[in-house]
């Protein structure tokens, strides 16, 4: 005789015993709930199931025939549309909506809270930099890793007490560039402003390079200008780079450097802005004057 039972804890904490007795040879079957017999069946030699209610819940016992013996399972039927299941599904939907509302509200709270925090923090850092800011020079370090051809980019500077700040290295597959698209070179130097008592609060002024860095960038742009205009006189190309810097600073030579860049890749420095620069009448007149001075 095979015997199985399961304990079901009711809504008020009452322990209920649901069990069965099954003769594997005779097939006789008894299913009971506590002391009450709810099913009697005979010659149960194949898989079969029995449904019944316990405290409004629809239950089901499965007799599953295997090659060697039987397996007995007890489950609650949550799919059949009984009164209890309909009520439970409504409660589940309500709890799901409430849970989602809580999660969405909590995420919104975090986003708004973070935005407010960073807004005030950003304002505080800007005010701190304006009140106690001091100037120094920052040096760019750019190391090419030959193993994977990646670039490692970082920078450092010393404050008025001689304390050094070193940024966290950043890996890049392509050579890092200035905001205007001109590539950085190892050893480039720029003006940096930092808070007197907070070395982590600083801002690099990429439009204030040192003389050494300016010369390096002009040489880089000039070499690039030669490459893309091999049929023209180098003295004329030299003048174009020189006048671009004199009239428009480092952004001026960036427009020359970006003469092969598609507008879709860079909206401010590209082939269109290059053409606009060299077709500008005051620019052309200044270039002509520069060229005349070199040849007469």
Per-residue pLDDT tens over the stretch 149-205: 789 999 999 999 999 999 999 888 888 999 999 999 999 999 999 999 899 999 999
Task: Encode pLDDT of 223-281 as tens digits.
Answer: 999 999 998 999 999 999 999 999 999 999 999 999 999 999 999 999 999 999 999 99
Is 216 in the same domain as 284? yes
Domain boundary among 186, 205, 224: 205
On whether residue 128 sits in a domain, the answer given is no
On whether residue 119 sits in a domain, the answer given is no
On whether residue 107 sits in a domain, the answer given is no
Q: State the Cα–Cα distance between residues 55 and 16, nearest whole angstrom.
A: 10
On whether residue 123 sits in a domain, the answer given is no
Q: Which has the closest alpha carbon to 188: 254, 155, 139, 137?
A: 139
Is 138 in the same domain as 187? yes
Q: State the Cα–Cα distance between residues 184 and 203, nearest whole angstrom.
A: 17
Neighbours of 195 (CB within 10 A): 21
Q: State the Cα–Cα distance between residues 168 and 155, nearest whole angstrom.
A: 8
**Range among 108-117, 145-154, 282-291 rated most confident:** 282-291
Domain boundary among 205, 234, 267: 205
**pLDDT, mean over the chain:** 90
Is 219 in the same domain as 290? yes
Secondary-structure breakdown of the chain: helix, strand, coil percentages, each rounded to the nearest 5: 40, 35, 30
On whether residue 96 sits in a domain, the answer given is no
Task: Tell me the H-state helices in the chain.
Answer: 83-132, 211-228, 234-257, 271-278, 281-295
Cβ 60 vs Cβ 47: under 8 Å: no
Domain that holds residue 137: 133-205
Long-range pairs for 142-146 at CB < 8 Å and ≥24 separation? 142/175, 142/176, 142/184, 142/185, 142/186, 142/188, 143/186, 145/171
Neighbours of 113 (CB within 10 A): 10
State the pTM of this model. 0.58
Cβ 18 vs Cβ 59: under 8 Å: yes
Domain boundary among 155, 190, 205: 205
Q: What is the mean pLDDT of residues 42-70?
A: 91
Q: State the Cα–Cα distance between residues 188 and 207, nearest whole angstrom.
A: 12
């Amino acid at each position: 005789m095979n015997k199985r039972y399961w304990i079901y804890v009711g809504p008020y904490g009452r322990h209920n015993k649901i069990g069965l007795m099954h003769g594997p040879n005779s097939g006789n079957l008894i299913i009971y709930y506590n002391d009450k017999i709810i099913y009697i069946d005979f010659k149960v030699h194949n898989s079969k199931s029995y449904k019944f209610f316990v405290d409004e819940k629809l239950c089901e016992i499965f007799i599953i025939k295997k090659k060697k013996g039987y397996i007995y399972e007890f489950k609650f039927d949550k799919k059949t549309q009984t009164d209890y299941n309909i009520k439970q599904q409504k409660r589940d939907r309500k709890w799901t909506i409430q849970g989602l509302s809580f999660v969405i509200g909590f995420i919104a709270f975090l986003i708004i809270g973070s935005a407010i925090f960073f807004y005030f923090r950003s304002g505080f850092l800007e005010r701190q930099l304006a009140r106690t800011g001091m100037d120094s020079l920052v040096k760019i370090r750019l190391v090419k890793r030959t193993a994977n051809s990646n670039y490692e980019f970082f920078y450092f500077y010393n404050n008025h007490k001689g304390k050094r700040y070193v940024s966290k290295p950043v890996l890049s597959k392509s050579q890092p560039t200035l905001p205007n698209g001109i590539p950085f070179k190892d050893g480039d130097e720029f003006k940096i402003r930092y808070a007197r008592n907070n070395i982590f609060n600083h801002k690099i002024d990429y439009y204030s390079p040192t003389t050494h860095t300016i010369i390096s960038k002009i040489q880089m742009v000039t070499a690039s200008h030669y490459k893309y205009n091999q049929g023209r006189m180098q003295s004329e190309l030299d003048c174009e780079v020189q006048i671009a810097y004199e009239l428009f600073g480092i952004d001026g030579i960036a427009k020359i450097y970006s003469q092969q860049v598609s507008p879709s890749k860079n909206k401010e420095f590209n082939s269109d802005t290059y053409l606009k620069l060299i077709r500008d009448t005051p620019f052309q007149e200044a270039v002509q004057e520069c060229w005349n001075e070199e040849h007469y």
